[in-house]
Structure 1
Amino acid sequence: MWPPVFKTVSGVLGRWVGSIPTRSRQSMSMAETTQFLGATFDPKGGMTAYEPHEPPPSNGLTWIALSDPTELSNPIFEPVLNRFPLTLADFTEKYNRIGIESRPEGLALLTTLPHCRDGVEYHPIAIFAIPNCIITVSNLELSEIKSLFNQWKQDPISIGATSGRLLHGILDLTLDTFFPAVDYINDELDSIEEQIFSSSSTDLSRLIGIKRELLFLRKNISPIRENINSLIRNGQPVVSPSELPEFQDIYNHSLRLSENVDLSRDLVTGLMDVQLSVTSNHLNEIMRTLTVISTILMAAALIAGIYGMNFQYIPELKWLYGYPFAIGLMTFLGIGIYFTFRKLKFIGKK
């Protein structure tokens, strides 16, 4: 049995918890269960924190960065997400094919952000943009997105005071992360190239693995390039005409990335051909050496075979110097054959 004082306290606490508004309890549970970043920039009022208990305000620009895809089902974000059902379905169902969904009220994009950790890992990102709000969603907390968000909070004018400018900043960030991935693969190719022309052997499976990584890179870069090109050609209410040159700049970045990937693929093909040529040359050198040794031993075997025949009358068999003569003849023929091959440049320095 509980003492009366505990019953009284528990009753008071129960009535107090029950008196908390439903919306406040929802925001508290959300803050505890997900990684959430949100802020609103109003040119008149400056930067203010956005609390996820009400829809984004219509004035100013709100950026909501989520790192838990399950929060996409939160009804607070429905006014934005329900405008792009195709992209929302693709991301939630993990069909992360890079694409764009353009609507009269805004656009949605699926893109990826690569990380280099013992290879290249790709993390999908969904971007939902309307004139007064941008929502970005990833499967985990990405330091690059968090860093850009903090920069935007500190200096929203330079990063993006409008939805179009901020969308440009996010896309520019995702494309910039591909350059370290390309450099990482090129460093691997440089290391393999040094091994090929050194005495150490090279495993072709490394080159095949790098070629596969380059194919994945191209698979992720090419759709982004086409999406940006479509945005430039067709236009979008989210992006004003004055902001299109900035998207042309990131389109040029995507072209440069595609060219770098194509050059790296050509380099991989060339290195595979060089590796096969080097291996073939080494095999040829081994065959040359074995040919010379076999020819020398063949001459010695010929002499041994002649004097090993089972005839009764072989004069040298009873000769006192027959054995030294046979050994000397073998040695003389071996040395003669060796220098003949050297004169013909079959062995030795070319």
Structure 2
Amino acid sequence: MAKKSIDLKRVLKKSFKSQRSIGQAPGTVTYVGARQDGRYAIDVLDYSNDMFHLQSLTDVNEALTFKDNITVSWFNIVGLSNEVEITKLGDHFNLNSLVLEDIVNTSQRPKVDEYDDYAFVTLKMIYLDDDYKSTIEHCGVVLCEHNVLLFQEIDADVFEGLRNRIKNKSGRIRSRGADYLFFTIIDAIVDQYFVVSENIASQIDDLEEEVYNNPKEETAQKIQQLKKEVLQVRKWVSPVKDLISRIIETDHRLISNETKVFFKDALDHSLQIYENIQLYREMTTNLMEIYMTNMSNKMNEVMKVLTIMASIFIPLTFIAGVYGMNFEYMPELQHRNAYFIVLGLMFIIFILMIIYFKRKKWL
């Protein structure tokens, strides 16, 4: 009984470590995640149609100089475990404490919230690591009048192409407002889902070939790992289509109708990705069933060969057993060619059984 109590305490301790905000008042800014290194950095990308400026801030208070500019400012905040700095930045931009709570809660489901002076979106950024495995990072995006705040867990992201577009003044982004930047950030995250989806499809193709041609014990582990990856991606991709639909339907003053047209394209992409992930989920389940069937067939083939071999040797063993008995009076033993006769008989029986099995198509 004591052992069970100790195990229960260990489980509860682990649970509260991963969900530190349980039992706290709503709006408490408490980081929930695994990257508790305390690092924090802010890069500001400020631009207009004729101007571009990139700056790294050493103090949160420096963000105030960009807040009321008529130019568009993209604040890229890296590091969510520094709750004090996140709270300071939230106070500078008058962000609700519930928004800050969702920003630092890495288990938060993707969603969109609307306030009078800003809109807030939280979603998952999914990309491939060096081993081509899906890596999931939490991020939050806040749209203000002339500013967009992007909160990330780590430096790695999927926005390098977007930064280059802004820097090189390619496309329409420099001539549009903060709401279009808000769209391009979400669109870049959604587009990266295609890369993850294609990688999953490639893994499924490889496993299909392995399952059909040379299934091994390790194959089942690979299928199970891929299935977990698909379910994890599906968990965070599924709500994105509803999130974008709500943005399209909103009448928030900060999101123009022109930008909503582009969000419709992002909605099409999110729906396509969701359908692909659903398909891959079914395919991984079918892969496991095919693997089990092939392994069972492989075992049946082995049992079939062993059964045929045993069936062939049953009459031969019987003959050898009869003439191997140590009776004193066995007439056949006195025959001069008895050994060769019995050996020939056993060979004939062997050939006849092989012919019989061939005609039955058991061989």
Q: Same fold (TM over 0.5)?
A: yes
- Deviation digits for residues 31-78 of structure 1, max 9, x if unmatched? xx85432133345x6445566252412523221112133374364552
Separation of aligned partners in 1, 2:306 and 2:166: 71
What SS does the aligned partner of 1:101 have? Answer: strand
- Deviation digits for residues 169-224 of structure 1, max 9, x if unmatched? 00000011111111112211111112222245352010011011000111111121
Instruction: Read off the aligned partner of 2:64 and give its amino acid letter.
Output: E
Cα 1:222–1:232 shift into 2, 3 Å: same
Are the aligned partners of 1:84 and 1:108 in contact in 2 as well (CA < 8 Å)?
Answer: no
Separation of aligned partners in 2, 1:53 and 1:198: 60
Cα 1:276–1:270 shift into 2, 3 Å: same
Cα 1:292–1:88 shift into 2, 3 Å: same
Separation of aligned partners in 1, 2:99 and 2:170: 27
Cα 1:203–1:166 shift into 2, 3 Å: same
In structure 2, what is the equivalent of residue 110 of structure 1? 122
Separation of aligned partners in 2, 1:166 and 1:342: 73
2:47 matches 1:41: yes
Separation of aligned partners in 2, 1:121 and 1:248: 26
Unaligned runs of 5+ in 1: 1-32
In structure 1, what is the equivalent of residue 237 of structure 2? 221
**Root mean square deviation of aligned Cα:** 2.3
Instruction: Read off the aligned partner of 1:84 and give its amino acid letter.
Output: N
Instruction: Read off the aligned partner of 1:78 and give its amino acid letter.
Output: D
Aligned pairs for 1:138-149 (under 5 A) are 138-149=152-163
Equivalenced residue count is 313
2:111 matches 1:99: yes
Range that drifts further, 63-72 or 274-283: 63-72
Separation of aligned partners in 2, 1:73 and 1:282: 59
2:179 matches 1:167: no
The answer to which structure has the higher helix fraction is 1
What SS does the aligned partner of 1:313 have? Answer: coil
Separation of aligned partners in 2, 1:331 and 1:344: 20
TM-score (normalised: structure 1)? 0.82
Separation of aligned partners in 2, 1:60 and 1:156: 17
In structure 1, what is the equivalent of residue 254 of structure 2? 238
2:355 matches 1:343: no
What is the aligned counterpart of 2:64 among 37, 44, 54? 54
Instruction: Read off the aligned partner of 2:257 and give its amino acid letter.
Output: P
Identity, in percent, stands at 22
Are the aligned partners of 1:292 and 1:338 in contact in 2 as well (CA < 8 Å)?
Answer: no
In structure 1, what is the equivalent of residue 98 of structure 2? 86
Shift of 1:138: 0.8
Separation of aligned partners in 1, 2:87 and 2:160: 21
TM-score (normalised: structure 2)? 0.79
Are the aligned partners of 1:42 and 1:60 in contact in 2 as well (CA < 8 Å)?
Answer: yes
